[in-house]
Amino acid sequence: MLSFLAVICVVFLLIVIVQISKILESLGVLKGEEEAQESSNKLNGGLLFVFIILSFYLIYWSIKKYSPEFLPESASIHGVWIDQLFNITLLITGVVFILTEFLLFYFAWKYRGNRKKKALHYVDNHRLELLWTVIPAITLTVLVGFGAVRWYEITSQPPDNVTWIEITGRQFEWMPRYPGVDGVFGKRMVEYIDDGTGNKLGIDTTDINSEDDFLPTEIHLVVNQPVAFKIRSRDVLHSFYLPHFRVKMDAVPGIPTQFWFTPTKTSAQMAKDVGKPDFVYELACAELCGASHSNMRLEVFVDTQEEYDEWEKQQTSWYSSFMGLDKEDDADAEQLEEAADQKEDNDEGEEIEITETNGNVEENNVISMLQND
């Protein structure tokens, strides 16, 4: 009922405005069209100028009000570079914005039409045009240069001491996998995926490397230790997005992607910095993936080395819980050890192959290579 009344009110308001405008127009015609245009030039010119000045003030005011809510300083090394680039670009574009917008609205007001005046027939000025071709070109070259250098650094191959974590997206959940003590992920195949049995990633249980892989329900990273994510999707597109670390990379079914970075602030440190004791890093999905797209959340913790080791110790391997081994005893542990020895033999003989398509690391092998080096 209330909304119906609101609609009625709006309709009446519109009718009133229309009627008033009609009357004003007839009055204008009576006054003489030229004169009516002249007085509306005056009014509109003034309004345009007021609009831009007021806008500048509101922009200043709103940035002051909302900047505390922008993201806190980046918690990764490359994130600081990105913020720097952002700020440089903001500075340059800000100056251009204020200058051009001001001139635009100022001219509209200053040169508002008047019957007694005459416009200047001004056709061309090549020198002026050259000037405003060359200056933007130089500015852009600088931006491109800085941008390219940082882009290459950010997308470079990860350093040797990197820790690999695999993250797989599905509707509507992120599923991380750690390689465990051996540092090598077990193979996975789409054929083996079975939500019924709980093999959500399609891990090959016959692959010895899979035995110590663990699939936690949150991500833990070690502060100041480079970490590389191998990003996969099981169904539709997702995007691996860590806003506080300035990390984003699409998860594409069939084509694994990767992103490496170095977290620089522990969760505790960040909580202190932003003044929120319950602060937690979050992983989000940034590519529309379906109805619950906005629910694909996973918590991320940046620990000190000790905290991390403590956490890692508590994790049980996926293999043992999948096979029901965690309830049984030493006989299996022996078996596992044996298997681990076998694995080492395998690794030595294994041929290392790196295939890259579009910069995507194709196979797990590259990870094992990095680990074994």
Partner 1 sequence: MATENPQVVTETEEHVHEESHYHPKLSFIRKYVFSMDHKTIAKQFLITGIFWGVIGGLMSMVFRLKLGFPDDSFPFLQSILGSWAPEGDLKPEFYNALITIHGTVLVFFVLTAGLSGTFANLLIPLQVGARDMASPFLNMMSYWFFFLASVVMFSSLFLPQGPASPGWTVYPPQSALPQASPGSGAGMTYWLVSMALFIFSALLGGLNYIVTILNMRTKGMSMARLPLTIWAFLVTAILGVLSFPVLLSASVLLIFDRGMGTSFFLSDIYIAGEALRTSTGEILSGGSPILFQHLFWFLGHPEVYIIILPAMGIVSEVLAVNARKPIFGYRAMVGSLLAIGFLSFVVWAHHMFVTGMNPFIGSVFMLLTLIIAVPSAIKVFNWVTTLWKGNIRLTPAMLFSIGFVSTFIAGGLTGLFLGNPAIDIQLHDTYFIVAHFHIVMALSAIFGMFAGIYHWFPKMFGRMMNKNLGYLHFFLTIVCAYGVFWPMHYIGMAGVPRRYFEFSNFQAFGGFADLNQFITVAAIIGFTAQFLFIINFFYSIFHGRKATMNPWKSVTIEWTTPIKTGHGNWPGEIPEVHRWAYDYSKNGDSENDFIPQTTPVSADEIEPEH
Residues in region 71-110 near partner 1 by CB under 8 A: 71, 79, 81-82, 85-86, 89-90, 92-93, 96-97, 100-101, 103-105, 107-108
Burial 5-29 (b: 16+ CB within 10 A, else e): eeeeeeeeeeeeeeeeeeeeeeeee
In the three-class reduction of DSSP (H, G, I as helix; E, B as strand; rest coil), residue 234 is classed as coil
The 10 Å Cβ neighbour count of residue 49 is: 18
Selected binder of partner 1 within 73, 77, 80, 150 (CB under 8 A): 150
- Nearer Cβ to partner 1 (315/360): 360
Question: What gap in Å lies between CA 246 and CA 70, rounded to an integer?
Answer: 13
Locate 251 and state its tokens. Answer: 């998860």
We find the least distance from the C-beta atom of residue 365 to partner 1, in angstroms, to be 17
- Nearer Cβ to partner 1 (79/179): 79
In the three-class reduction of DSSP (H, G, I as helix; E, B as strand; rest coil), residue 283 is classed as strand
Selected binder of partner 1 within 177, 220, 234, 265 (CB under 8 A): 234
Selected binder of partner 1 within 241, 308, 318, 319 (CB under 8 A): 241
- Nearer Cβ to partner 1 (135/181): 135
Cα four-point dihedral sign 288, 291, 247, 368: negative
DSSP state letter for 188 = B
Question: What gap in Å lies between CA 173 and CA 198, rounded to an integer?
Answer: 14
- Nearer Cβ to partner 1 (105/308): 105
Question: What gap in Å lies between CA 41 and CA 47, rounded to an integer?
Answer: 10
- Does position 235 interact with partner 1 (CB under 8 A)? The reply is yes
Which of the residues 318 through 347 are near partner 1 (CB under 8 A)?
none
Selected binder of partner 1 within 17, 30, 91, 354 (CB under 8 A): 17
Binding region for partner 1 (CB under 8 A) out of 179-187, 216-224, 275-283, 317-325: 275-283
Cα dihedral value 324, 327, 330, 334, nearest 10:
20
Cα separation values, 176 from 29, 170, 251, 330, 349, Å? 73, 11, 13, 28, 29
Which of the residues 293 through 322 are near partner 1 (CB under 8 A)?
293-295, 297
Question: Which has the closest alpha carbon to 229: 302, 288, 168?
Answer: 168
We find the least distance from the C-beta atom of residue 191 to partner 1, in angstroms, to be 6
x/- map, 21-40, partner 1, by CB under 8 A: xx-xx--xx-------x--x
Which of the residues 157 through 196 are near partner 1 (CB under 8 A)?
170-171, 189-191, 193, 195-196
Cα separation values, 3 from 13, 17, 166, Å? 15, 21, 51
Q: 196: Cβ–Cβ under 8 A, 6 or more apart, which residues?
A: none
Contact between 6 and 82 (Cβ < 8 Å): no
- Nearer Cβ to partner 1 (252/370): 252
Locate 89 and state its tokens. Answer: 């670009």
Selected binder of partner 1 within 8, 12, 14, 372 (CB under 8 A): 14
We find the least distance from the C-beta atom of residue 298 to partner 1, in angstroms, to be 11
We find the least distance from the C-beta atom of residue 349 to partner 1, in angstroms, to be 28
Selected binder of partner 1 within 162, 165, 167, 252 (CB under 8 A): 252
Selected binder of partner 1 within 75, 228, 247, 270 (CB under 8 A): 247
We find the least distance from the C-beta atom of residue 32 to partner 1, in angstroms, to be 14
- Nearer Cβ to partner 1 (237/340): 237
We find the least distance from the C-beta atom of residue 246 to partner 1, in angstroms, to be 5
